[in-house]
Amino acid sequence: MTTNILAPASDELHTILTNQRNAFLQDGPPTLEQRRADLKKFKSAMIARRKEIEEAINSDFGHRSRHETAIVEIIGVIEGIKYLSSNLKKFMAPSKRKVALHMRFGTARVEYQPLGVVGIIDPGITQSIYH
């Protein structure tokens, strides 16, 4: 008899993803201010859980230096958050497109909108569920 040890975690992840998708459909795409606030919360969470992240990576790599982890993993993510936060308005701005000659009095642009919710599963995270 085989049992699926992933079923409880799979059901939990499916529930989380479904709840996030429903919230996205109800609330619509986040505003610039909401996105900046989310990035700020993410940055704070990374900093607050720095030691836990270092310990998890240390256990995965086996005696990896905390300093190396901080430089390679944590600071890289923090700098990415800073970059995204400062450039978010530009990334969200519509971009102009050329129109055909016979439509010369018209204008065209692309307005970028998120399409929904994405679930990312990391083997390190799923491994920690069972320990």
CA distances from 103 to 106, 108, 109, 129, 130 (A): 5, 10, 14, 57, 60
Count the helices and strands in the chain (H runs, E runs).
6, 2
Question: Can you give the pLDDT at residue 27?
Answer: 87
Q: What's the whole-model pTM score?
A: 0.69
Question: Can you give the pLDDT at residue 95?
Answer: 94
Question: Can you give the pLDDT at residue 70?
Answer: 84
In terms of pLDDT, which residue wins out, 29 or 78?
78
CA 43, CA 47: separation in Å to the nearest integer? 6
Q: Which of 5-9, 32-36, 110-114 has the highest average model confidence (pLDDT)? A: 32-36
Q: Are 116 and 21 in contact (CB under 8 A)?
A: yes
Question: Can you give the pLDDT at residue 8?
Answer: 58
Is it the case that residue 123 has pLDDT exceeding 90?
A: no
Residues 49-70 pLDDT 10s: 998 888 888 887 788 888 888 8
Is it the case that residue 18 has pLDDT exceeding 60?
A: yes
What are the residue ranges spanned by the domains of the chain?
A: 26-129
